[in-house]
Structure 1
Amino acid sequence: MNDLTQEQTLERDVQLFTALLGEVLREHSRKRVLVIVERLRDGFMQLREQEDAELRDKLMKRIEGLDPQTLSEVIRAFTIYFGLVNVAEELNAHLARMDLISAGERLWMGSFDDTVRQFAEDGVSAENFQSLLEHLVYLPVFTAHPTESKRRTISDTFRRIFLIGQDLHRRKLNEEELEDKLQEILTHIQILWKTDEVRVHKPQVTDEVQQGLYFFRESLFEAVPLVYRFLEKAVRRNYGATCGIRVPSFIRFGSWIGGDRDGNPFVKPETTELAVRMHAELVLELYLERLAGLRRMLSHSSALCQPSPEFLDSLDADEDYWVDTMGQRQRLFLHEPYRRKLAMMRHRLQANLDRVRARMEGRDYDGLPEGYCDERDFLNDLYLIRDSLVHHGDANAASGPLQDLIRLAETFGFHLVNLDIRQESTRHTEAVTELFARQAGAPYYQAFTEEQRLMALAEAIAHPHPFVIDKATLTAETRETLEVFEVIARMRAEIGQKVVGQYVISMTHSASHVMEVMLLARLAGLVGKDAEGWFCSIQVSPLFETIDDLSHIDQVMQTLLDNPTYQGLLKASGNQQEVMLGYSDSCKDGGILSSSWNLFEAQKKVIALADDRGLACRLFHGRGGTVGRGGGPTHEAILAQPVDTVHGQIKFTEQGEVLSYRYSNPETARYELTMGISGLIKASRCLIESPQEERNDYLGIMDELARYGEEAYRKLVRQTDGFLDYFYECTPLDGIALLNIGSRPSHRKKADRSLGSIRAIPWVFGWGQSRHTLPAWLGIGYAIERYRGTDVERLAKLQKMYQEWPYFRALLSNTQMSLFKAEMRIAREYLRLSENQEQAAAIFSVIEEEYRRTLTQVLNVAGLRVLMEDTPDLNHSLARRNLYLDPLNHIQVAVLARYRAEEDEEKREAWLDPLLRSINAIAAGMRNTG
């Protein structure tokens, strides 16, 4: 086995899984399914090698001759294949990394070993490296956008296959044991075949919260402590065991699931309250499990070691709790002090958990024990045990599971995640307008200028009793808006101060939009003025999403940061301003080049404003899974940020299907977190040494390219007759809207075919399904061609930019991946779905021409012969999927045609199942959706 290359080992695993899937299909599917699957795969493989119109026609006729049930089974077979390929790739990547570690060689770029080694080799002192570590905050935010089509039960089964596959590689098995393992995999594939991967019902928001919790329970609670251990090892290896560098706990997690109400009518105040309690319930359950393990392990006897005086004092102080509250015998664990302490800690935590559950169920909890006041008391007990073990020479016992639990408690507290709340700016404006209107003699707020609004809002925030409000007389919308702030205040008091992260305002167009939120928070007691001055326990993150908003970001933020009332509130809340940048809508609005460049420029403007005022500023990147929504490898994305803008902190959304790929397996989660954190460490080097400024000539060229790119994008998307009809008809958007993969509607307004009505996610999802992937590359080829013309020197300049500038390199690397996933031959097949064939053909010819232009220009600039030549593993991975994606796309076209043409409602419904399954399958094959 060891004689095989990594690629050969991976191919062997893929072939094994495929063969076992074939066995399951042979035994458990309708008789013809395996034959159809193989003939379609082989036929479309031939077409890839050489176009043959007669063969293509023959394959389409075969597809069109199949009934809905058989088609559904064929699609399901392809979907399971993609899942098995994902498992094989993830497993082999993990094993290759472990082999490198075992060999003691220098590890991969982005590993902690390589990163810390580079700092040490560059002469960065231990003191400076410590200083950098102390500034770090790494904050992925989990969101529930409707792009994750995989059910949790399916994820569990694939996890089992991963673990069995690991045994096949790692353990020395005799023939009988090997046969047993193969039978186990076969059994799990058989279970997959008999488990419906498409949800019968659209998920509720609480289902999405449970889906998010899955990653913490199954993966992250194991991965996070190991990430810290590996970083500590890298520090010791490169700076020496006695260097004195201490790695603080800087990983945090956020979530929008249950807090994001922008455009989702199903997220109510009570939904947010339930989500917070579900988070608290899970984290307390997981701590209790680990405390039980520690109690079994730390069996030290006071007759054989001497605990620290501080620890013994704490045991004495807890004597009444032990006897009266717990009702325990004094002699229990009398000579096993750590077991006694851990038993009390478990009792207290159980009391916390019982109270959370009582509140969730609406039960009375007055008679329940108090438990811990907050996470700090719990952590202090853990620190006491750790320090006492070190005190009597058992530091090794303190550095294992106990230290892991300390890391977990420092990371997750009693709240698990910082739940961000998001709402659209107009909801706040409407609420504030109504509140002002209900006051006697109050002027009409909507008629105010921006300056007048800011004055009125500042006065109201500072007033001891700003409004006389009878909530019963308010509109339902305003009542609900106010209740959200009341929930924030209540949950902070109940669970802890960190339970809510930021209040995010989408579509922020002016400073008053932020001040309106502060006024609404004032009414819930979250901000205000008392005898000691301003207090503020809410932090607001304005979200800038459109090209226009990004270009005006400095004006809005300057007005806000210079407002005396806001300055007072900001200072009271810690003097850190977070600003969120929207990748999705800006890309839909002006195209990928304009979006990317405006985001780049906006970051520099905001950081400069904050620096001038002595404020800390954290940028929050609203990235999606796909390139069209800011996706791409996290390590490269962080390094591609503007120089001197990542000051130790990075916050970004992890959306939809990205959660599954990055965090389902603890082994992969560990790798992904490591790659992101190492990128953050490198990008934050500006904190300890002067950064090298970006070249003005590069910035000027990007200005020009972005202008040309936006021009090309708008010409096609906004100025071409019938373009949106093309999008609606030549993509499976109608199926996406019906797919039960998210609680959020796919449109802001129903039956509205405007670009503004379509959400950014279905926009990207639709183009991806039909193999256009247009949002990720449209305009780039035109921009480069127009800039360089026939000037050889200009091409050389672009090539140098690609080699030297991380931003430009990441942009074109991501473009390559999107061009590779696009297939113009397949995209053309979707034209048959258009009602106006002539118009659709004309639009497609423009798209195809721009695709070819972009392909040529990107390869020229990158100095490559073929796409992704410099990332062969990813190239092979995508090519491997194409074998099954090609037939799936053709099936989808045929099913869409039947579904749309069928007038009989019952017959039409029969075609919906294979349509929805085809969307699921293509999403799984392309490894991203929206």
Structure 2
Amino acid sequence: MKDAADALARDIQLFTALLAEVLREHSRKRVLVIVERLRDGFVTLRAEDDPELRAKLMKRIDGLDPQTLSEVIRAFNIYFGLVNTVEEVHAHLRRLAQVSAGGPLWIGSFDQAVRELKTDGLSPQQVQGLLDHLIYLPVFTAHPTEAKRRTILETFRRIFLIAQDLHKRRLNDEELEERLQAIMAEIQILWKTDEVRVHKPQVTDEVRQGLYFFRESLFDAVPEVYRNLERAVRRAYGPDTGLRVPSFIRFGSWIGGDRDGNPFVKPETTELAIRMHHELVLELHLDRVRGLLRRLSHSDTLCRPSPAFLDSLDADEDYWVDTMGQSLRRYTNEPYRRKLAIIRHRLEANLARVRARIAGNPDDRPAGYAEVSEFLADLYLIRDSLISHGDANAAAGPLQDLIRLAETFGFHLVHLDLRQESRRHTEAVTELFARQPGAPYYQAFSEDQKLVALGEAIAHPHPFVIDKGTLTPATRETIEVFEVIARMRAEISPDVFGAYVVSMTHSASHVMEVMLLARLAGLVGRDPSGWFCQIHVSPLFETIEDLGQIDRVMASLFDDPTYRALVKASGNQQEVMLGYSDSCKDGGILASAWKLYEAQKKVIALADDRGVSCRLFHGRGGTVGRGGGPTYEAILAQPVDTVHGQIKVTEQGEVLSYRYANPETARYELTLAISGLLKASRCLIEEPEPERRDYLAILDELARFGEEAYRDLVDETEGLLDYFYQVTPVDAIALLNIGSRPSHRQDADRSLASIRAIPWVFGWAQARHTLPAWYGLGRALERWRNNDVERLAKLQRMYQEWPFFRALLSNTQMSLFKAEMTIAREYLRLARDQGRARAIYDKIQAEYQRTLTQVLNVAGLHGLMEETPDLRSSLAGRNIYLDPLNHIQIAVLERYRREPSDEAREQWLDPLLRSINAIAGGMRNTG
């Protein structure tokens, strides 16, 4: 372990030296000197606070011009990117070394998870039943879009590969020097590439950003994940048990479909996003078909393809001659090449059609494949035929990988979820009712009356007579979204869409209103054969109050005869989304975590009682304050008997590049999540251990105490929001070109209700408070303990025995570690009312210290993150550059806000935005 840590430290020193060399040669004359003096000065300050030295360093920063500051910040930012890359390389190499050693692998590996199933006595039949129920569905979102540009991600990918090569084989001196020069060349490119976007991204830019991870990483990672799980199953249960690993990984996206508060996501935007997904997946499938065409050169004079395969070739003869215009002599004796040439031509026809439509020139020629099942049928024929004449090894390589990819990604790539706030649907439905002769005012109805009226309208053959041209623009746009759903399902695949998410769901009618709008587009209704439903609606519960009444709303829905019929017609599965971000902003981390925990139990119990399958959709952000944290631990921390083989979770912002930019890391992250899902889903095949009622009762009290403490800060502390807007860079975050979504739901509204959860968490993190992730927990623990030794012992047992409580306190430790109250105090310089700001800071600082003490006592630790030393070391190492960055940001914010004119402020905007970007990279958080 020490050798690995030493090797990592050496590589970080090496890359730091290479960066210094680039700065020496290519930066302004003083930049490297300033970087090193600031770094060394703040390292000294961290060892022992010295107000005189701090003032001297701030004076140095204050004397720098905007351009020099921008270069200093860029140097720090590149350092963070290099450290991130080196850490990923070493983590990957450590995993390879463990695999090569042949022993048990790390916790969260497939090897560990499947061996545990075997050790616990689960039979192959039970394991197969578990595998058959699995669905793992990460959903990529764009709020905020990852702060790194694609070109930066590509450069770091090249550095990753070169750095890996430094360790994977022995190099002579000349080869070593070549690799070091190659790394330095890439760092030089980074230095001369602007990492900050000049323009705010359009939604289509965000779609392309999301597609990057599929093209560069996931299409390589996913087949290997399946292969590794198959190996683990064979090792544990033997090769002859017949255990089969189905294709259960799916991907979703909100990019181009999430219109809640984002005025730039139009119906045509969603349509374009779907076609861009279709285009990319066809391109990627084609690449692999071309590779197989070169590879599968079997001659029918040397092997005998299966009768089914030969029959298929005979059936394709007209297509070969008439459509493709090929000679009968081409590939005469190479049947697999002949078949693959046909497959290639068909995919190319699909690709030409979608490209024409993207370009606005509809091509009405028939597609090569009407649906992905036809493509898969051809691949299965080739596979089975190869196996039939003893070439199973040829079938098990790239061909099986392509089958896995087609089963996973289809022709749609991702299931695009759509999201809109409930108020928009209510307004549209109100207008539609109002335009019907003699119709009563919909808004005047009680909830029960609304459900009756909506149910009758959905069941009616012609619910409304409307002229779309006379509708208000907002209602017309809302209806057009559902028309896009119908059109894209018909054009590409029924799988192109996932769920229609209704944010701010307060009542059952909010879901039924969506069903009525879907009825107008022909997506739901009744025909002679009965009910049909081609849309899945997912209510989103995201405030403390809404989470508390989730059972009332869902019971009302499940008991509504029309809705129940529609759910049954769509597969009898209900998805329910839980919002971590807004609930945390609303009531604090403790109340949020507990209300989410209780809500899951309530909704699963309701669904089970009504005979409906229920999948929970976890709207988790990258940071702890938005539900983030390690995925493996998070899945295991879910309530007992609520993870029934399926889990859907958002992957947001910086998480995308950290988890998915490199296929090596993507494999690891997917493996951890799937292993957690396997373990958490054992309730499907065996009776789970009942939850401890005493633990539940304690958390109930703690949550109440925590919420009171948090609300005392955000609701009762005079000037708290002024403090937030003044001592954090939240005003500048809105100017940072990292996402298309506005930072506030309503312009000019600076209330807590209006500000989005992302800038709320982002702002506090930048100013090193990180309070959304821990505030109130210390007060709750202290109040419940009340200096009682036995109560402390009880909490310590809970920490050791209950995954939920352990994950909560582990994540809190990480957030406390990232907070720096000494640096947070320096941001008080930006407050207008120093006295009030100092009082608020003192209140926050006291709760920080209280939380630190209580968490360490309960966890039985001497210092934060003792149980995760590698992560602790990684975060601690970043502080040597984060500390000066925070002080630079304070100085720049002060100047930016002080300048009287827009023109004067403009010169400070560039270093300000770069400082936000760099601190986010250093903390590995953008919100």
Alignment TM class, shorter chain as reference: over 0.9
Instruction: Work out which of the residue numbers 68, 78, 81 in structure 1 matches 2:79.
Output: 81
User: Does 2:917 align with 1:920?
Assistant: yes
Aligned to 1:328: 326
> What amino acid is the match of 2:118?
A
User: Does 2:507 align with 1:479?
Assistant: no
- Secondary structure, counterpart of 1:422 in structure 2: strand
Separation in structure 2 between the aligned mates of residue 851 and residue 142 of structure 1, nearest angstrom: 33
User: Does 2:765 align with 1:768?
Assistant: yes
Aligned to 1:670: 667
- Secondary structure, counterpart of 2:419 in structure 1: strand
1:823-862 equivalent positions in 2, closer than 5 A: 823-862=820-859
Separation in structure 1 between the aligned mates of residue 384 and residue 41 of structure 2, nearest angstrom: 67
User: Does 2:693 align with 1:683?
Assistant: no
Instruction: Work out which of the residue numbers 893, 900, 903 in structure 2 matches 1:903.
Output: 900
Give per-residue Cα distances to partners, 1:422-471, cap 9 Å, x unaligned.
00000000000000000000000000000000000000000000000011
User: Does 2:879 align with 1:882?
Assistant: yes
1:194-205 equivalent positions in 2, closer than 5 A: 194-205=192-203
Aligned to 2:162: 164
1:482-521 equivalent positions in 2, closer than 5 A: 482-521=479-518
Separation in structure 2 between the aligned mates of residue 753 and residue 572 of structure 1, nearest angstrom: 44
User: Does 2:257 align with 1:259?
Assistant: yes
- Secondary structure, counterpart of 1:555 in structure 2: helix
Aligned to 1:585: 582
Aligned to 1:246: 244
Separation in structure 1 between the aligned mates of residue 366 and residue 333 of structure 2, nearest angstrom: 26
- Secondary structure, counterpart of 1:540 in structure 2: strand
Superposition deviation, residue 370 in structure 1: 2.6
Q: Is the 8 A contact 2:306 2:388 kept in 1?
A: yes
1:241-320 equivalent positions in 2, closer than 5 A: 241-320=239-318
Aligned to 2:790: 793
Separation in structure 2 between the aligned mates of residue 727 and residue 683 of structure 1, nearest angstrom: 39
Superposition deviation, residue 753 in structure 1: 1.8
Q: Is the 8 A contact 2:145 2:206 kept in 1?
A: no
1:385-784 equivalent positions in 2, closer than 5 A: 385-784=382-781
Separation in structure 2 between the aligned mates of residue 361 and residue 79 of structure 1, nearest angstrom: 38
- TM-score, length of structure 2 as denominator length: 1.00
Aligned to 1:26: 24
Superposition deviation, residue 199 in structure 1: 0.3
- Secondary structure, counterpart of 1:399 in structure 2: helix
Separation in structure 2 between the aligned mates of residue 136 and residue 167 of structure 1, nearest angstrom: 36
Separation in structure 2 between the aligned mates of residue 90 and residue 182 of structure 1, nearest angstrom: 18
Separation in structure 2 between the aligned mates of residue 767 and residue 510 of structure 1, nearest angstrom: 33
1:47-196 equivalent positions in 2, closer than 5 A: 47-146=45-144, 148-196=146-194
Unmatched runs of 5 consecutive residues or more in structure 1:
none
Separation in structure 2 between the aligned mates of residue 104 and residue 414 of structure 1, nearest angstrom: 38
Q: Is the 8 A contact 2:418 2:499 kept in 1?
A: yes
Q: Is the 8 A contact 2:113 2:679 kept in 1?
A: yes
Give per-residue Cα distances to partners, 1:722-760, cap 9 Å, x unaligned.
000000000001110100000000011122221001000
Separation in structure 2 between the aligned mates of residue 910 and residue 30 of structure 1, nearest angstrom: 18
Separation in structure 1 between the aligned mates of residue 676 and residue 2 of structure 2, nearest angstrom: 32
Q: Is the 8 A contact 1:325 1:369 kept in 2?
A: no
Superposition deviation, residue 172 in structure 1: 1.6
- Secondary structure, counterpart of 2:139 in structure 1: strand
Q: Is the 8 A contact 1:591 1:778 kept in 2?
A: yes
What is the number of equivalent residue pairs in this alignment?
927
Separation in structure 1 between the aligned mates of residue 72 and residue 332 of structure 2, nearest angstrom: 65
- Secondary structure, counterpart of 1:625 in structure 2: coil
Separation in structure 1 between the aligned mates of residue 445 and residue 719 of structure 2, nearest angstrom: 40
- Secondary structure, counterpart of 1:643 in structure 2: coil
1:308-387 equivalent positions in 2, closer than 5 A: 308-366=306-364, 368-387=365-384
Instruction: Work out which of the residue numbers 6, 9, 13 in structure 1 matches 2:7.
Output: 9
Instruction: State percent identity of aligned pairs.
Output: 77
Separation in structure 2 between the aligned mates of residue 364 and residue 762 of structure 1, nearest angstrom: 41
Give per-residue Cα distances to partners, 1:602-634, cap 9 Å, x unaligned.
000000000001110000000000000000000
Separation in structure 2 between the aligned mates of residue 191 and residue 364 of structure 1, nearest angstrom: 41
Separation in structure 2 between the aligned mates of residue 634 and residue 393 of structure 1, nearest angstrom: 42
- Secondary structure, counterpart of 2:224 in structure 1: helix
Separation in structure 1 between the aligned mates of residue 901 and residue 283 of structure 2, nearest angstrom: 52
- Secondary structure, counterpart of 1:5 in structure 2: helix
- Secondary structure, counterpart of 2:734 in structure 1: helix
Superposition deviation, residue 905 in structure 1: 2.2
Superposition deviation, residue 904 in structure 1: 2.9
Q: Is the 8 A contact 1:108 1:114 kept in 2?
A: yes
Structure 1: which 4+ aligned runs deviate by more than 6 Å?
A: none
Aligned to 2:36: 38
Give per-residue Cα distances to partners, 1:324-377, cap 9 Å, x unaligned.
0000000100100000000000000000011111111111312x3430010000
> What amino acid is the match of 1:869?
E
Separation in structure 1 between the aligned mates of residue 851 and residue 67 of structure 2, nearest angstrom: 40
- Secondary structure, counterpart of 1:650 in structure 2: strand
Separation in structure 2 between the aligned mates of residue 929 and residue 705 of structure 1, nearest angstrom: 29
- Secondary structure, counterpart of 1:738 in structure 2: coil
- Secondary structure, counterpart of 1:465 in structure 2: coil
> What amino acid is the match of 2:456?
E
Superposition deviation, residue 929 in structure 1: 1.8
Separation in structure 1 between the aligned mates of residue 829 and residue 750 of structure 2, nearest angstrom: 20
Separation in structure 1 between the aligned mates of residue 769 and residue 926 of structure 2, nearest angstrom: 13
Aligned to 1:864: 861
Say what the alpha-carbon RMSD is for the aligned residues.
0.7
Separation in structure 2 between the aligned mates of residue 667 and residue 561 of structure 1, nearest angstrom: 43
Superposition deviation, residue 852 in structure 1: 0.1
- TM-score, length of structure 1 as denominator length: 0.99
Give per-residue Cα distances to partners, 1:799-840, cap 9 Å, x unaligned.
000000000000000000000000000000000100110000
Superposition deviation, residue 105 in structure 1: 1.3
Separation in structure 1 between the aligned mates of residue 681 and residue 377 of structure 2, nearest angstrom: 31
Superposition deviation, residue 764 in structure 1: 0.2
Separation in structure 2 between the aligned mates of residue 332 and residue 171 of structure 1, nearest angstrom: 44
Q: Is the 8 A contact 2:508 2:557 kept in 1?
A: yes
> What amino acid is the match of 2:923?
M
Superposition deviation, residue 231 in structure 1: 0.2
- Secondary structure, counterpart of 1:138 in structure 2: strand
Separation in structure 2 between the aligned mates of residue 644 and residue 462 of structure 1, nearest angstrom: 36
Give per-residue Cα distances to partners, 1:557-586, cap 9 Å, x unaligned.
000000000011000000000000000000
Q: Is the 8 A contact 2:144 2:926 kept in 1?
A: no
